[in-house]
Amino acid sequence: MPRTSKASGTTKRAGAAKKKNPARKKSRVKGPAKKKAHPKTQKPQKKTAAVAARAAQARRKKRLRAIELYERALAALQRRDLMVAANRFQKVIRDFPEERELHERSRRYLKVCERHQIPALAPKTLEERVYAATLALNTGSEQEALQHLEAALAEAPDNEQVQYMLAVARAAAGDESVAVTHLHRAIELNPDNRFLARHEASFDVLHDHEAFQQMLASPPSNGPGKVPERKA
């Protein structure tokens, strides 16, 4: 009889062990259900990829505009239209600061324009005055540049390029407060000048000015130069 009780006890324990196994298998089955949350984690990645794709497309479009302008400048140079060519090369340098390779080529051709420029009468048109001021700044003649730009300002006080060039010339001449005033007006006339000013080496002397720092900050939603929304 004792042997029989031991066997029956062993049988009960084995049966209990067998009953525990299904419970363990059920706990393992619950594992794959957690993978449902995985696709949600991919949404921010998709948004980030979309933003990066739009930014890359914008850069490509801007580069194409820079190349087109550069090619138009070359065409003007081949026609011996030196003033138009020089203005376009200057615009490549001024409006596309990230295109360093085009900058080098544009500066090289600007020197060609300067060498072949025929000494002539004093500039008469607005374009001629801005061009003459640009040449003077390139040679370090700030006062000569200011003379041309002040004449251009009298002719077109609301020309954003004249205001911007006056800011550059005044900064180069050491008139920092006047330079800040002209730059502020240039940004009011064309908010894109804010981005150009951030990369303008001539404005390094203005970095300690609080007004200059405020101008280069992101504009408010209803700031100057921003077109108000039309009401329905």
What tens digit of pLDDT does each residue of 210-227 get?
Answer: 889 888 886 654 444 443
**What's the mean pLDDT when you consider all of the chain?**
77
Q: Which residues of the chain have pLDDT under 70?
A: 1-44, 46, 116-121, 218-232
Residue 162 pLDDT: 95
Buried b (16+ CB within 10 A) or exposed e, 56-91: eeeeeeeeeebeebbebbbebbeeeebbbbbbbbbb
Q: Would you state the pLDDT for residue 44?
A: 64
Predicted confidence at residue 108, as pLDDT, reads: 85
Cβ neighbours of residue 63 closer than 8 Å, sequence gap 6 or more: 96, 99
Q: Which two tokens stand for residue 62?
A: 């801007």
Separation of alpha carbons 229 and 91, rounded Å: 30
- For the chain, give the percent of residues with pLDDT over 90: 24
Residue-level pLDDT at 226: 43
| Predicted local distance difference test score (pLDDT) of residue 50 | 79
pLDDT, residue 101, reads 87
3-state SS of the chain: helix, strand, coil percent to 5? 80, 0, 20
pLDDT the model gives residue 151: 93
